[in-house]
Chains A and B, each alone.
Chain A
Amino acid sequence: QVQLVQSGAEVKKSGASVKVSCKASGYTLGVYWLHWFRQAPGQGLEWMGWLKPDSGATEIAQKFQGRITMTSDTSISTVYMELSRLTPDDTAVYYCTRDWDRRAFDIWGQGTMVAVSS
């Protein structure tokens, strides 16, 4: 069964960092690009960036440049997204998803809630 399983909810203070993991199973992690999106409470979806797990290549949305690090450990089929200098505006559910074919994001993680207090 192809799936992405994310790490659990986090509560952080402003200024801290959070690292969310996304573990793939049922397929070879390095074959597909992995993207990260987030969704603030009651809001729509926002694209954050992508990572090619086998090469480590990334593209980060301009809004997050300088604050995001995306990495992978293919030996354990896991990718990571670390967001630093958190503010309450970063409170959201963070999702990883696989780009299966021509931006067909077919498999999504269950989401990781990150709450940031001031």
Chain B
Amino acid sequence: EIVMTQSPLSLPVTPGEPASISCRSTQSLLHSSGNTYLNWFLQKPGQSPQLLIYVASNRASGVPDRFSGGGSGTEFTLKISRVEAEDVGIYYCMQGLQTPYTFGQGTKLEIK
């Protein structure tokens, strides 16, 4: 089973400031197809998860362009260029390379 590790676990951010979350996997998420199966989700309080980024760097439909995903192999990053109040919640990375699909512990973003 691939283990996913996120940091930090808590992220207080001032509105308008940038934020960054790291995610590391215990093995490369690069598939033979050339796709890297790493997703980012945001779960707002009391809501279902919502997809932000898929295959490491593709922004999902409707996701603001202040969100960006990067990285390769086993090291990945989610960046928010300018945090807004509506961005609060728990951010999860997830590997979709092999089953069982596994998630990081989650990073709780809060507004200062």
Contact = CB atoms under 8 A, between A and B. Distances in A.
Nearest to B101: A47
Interface in B48-102: 48-51, 54-55, 58, 60-61, 92, 94, 96, 99-102
Contacts of B94: 45, 103
A103 B48 contact: no
Contacts of A44: 92, 103-106
Interface residues of A, number: 21
Interface of A: 35, 44-47, 59, 61-63, 95, 97, 101-106, 108-111
> SS class of chain B's interface: helix, strand, loop or mixed?
loop
B39 A61 contact: no
Given A44-B92, A47-B100, A103-B37, A95 B54 contact: no
Nearest to B4: A44
A108 B39 contact: no
Contacts of A109: 48
Given A45-B94, A109-B48, A102 B100 contact: no
B50 A108 contact: yes
Nearest to B51: A106
A103 B106 contact: no
Given A45-B92, A95-B48, A105 B100 contact: no
Contacts of B60: 104, 106
Contact of B55 (A35, A62, A104): A104
B35 interface: yes
Contacts of B51: 104-106
